[in-house]
Amino acid sequence: MMSRKQRPALAATARPKRAPSGRKPPSKPYHHGDLRRVLIDAALQLVNEGGADAISVREAARRAGVSPGAPFRHFPSRDALIQAVAEEAQRRFRAEIEQALADAPADDALGRFRRIGLAYLRWALHNPTHFEIISSRRLFDHDNADAVSRDNAALIDLTERTLAEAFARGQLRSPDLKRVQIAGRALVYGFARMNIDGHFPRWGVADDDVERTAAAILDMFIDGIAKRPRQEI
């Protein structure tokens, strides 16, 4: 048992377990007004680590360094946080396509269509969980997600206009542009889903060959719809 003389010395060297205020300091302080962004970024990290099912408002709050109740000022439910993640993922997806078209030749509409397809595949292959969130209707209400619907509609319109220009320039064989667009969408979407669902090993496609295979099958599709040989990009 310690004597009275020993106790003060030990007490002086012991470290307090809490901050002087009595509350645990945030592990990751955020700038005033940025909590919504920090929570979305934390949720995106959760998606990367464990898929959409790993999204948790409480865990996002923990990673943001705030109390469990703080996020509910921005996201009243888990569904609201998932929708915000989908909106951010859709924004990044659209930015990938816009970047791919930034230096595209103005006089080669079919070449721009190819770039759209390649950007779609590249982003989906590099961000499979984010792609699954924006493409699956089981995770959030697409019809009420205005930002997601708006960006998706803009990309569909971009593809329609690009194909219409390609046909007007005599680059496409078929005048049925709607079916060409659906076929192209089915190709890139199906390839992305095959990657997410882990089908490629059984088809003999190694991990380091998936992206090259994606580009090759897209070129086969482009060559199939082209009225004349496609210009090399």
Q: What is the pTM of this model?
A: 0.76
The CB-based long-range contact list for 91-100 (8 Å cut-off, 24+ gap) reads 91/147, 91/151, 92/123, 92/127, 92/130, 93/120, 93/123, 93/127, 93/130, 93/131, 93/134, 93/151, 94/151, 94/154, 94/155, 96/122, 96/123, 97/123, 97/155, 97/158
pLDDT at position 173 is: 94
Angle, vertex CA 151, rays to CA 183 and CA 225, nearest 5: 20
What average pLDDT does the segment 183-212 reach?
95
Domains of the chain in sequence order: 27-76 (1.10.10), 87-233 (1.10.357.10)
| pLDDT tens figures, 77-136 | 888 888 888 888 999 999 999 999 999 999 999 999 999 999 999 999 999 988 988 887
Decide if pLDDT at 24 tops 60: no
Q: 43: pLDDT confidence band, cut at 50, 70 and 90? A: confident
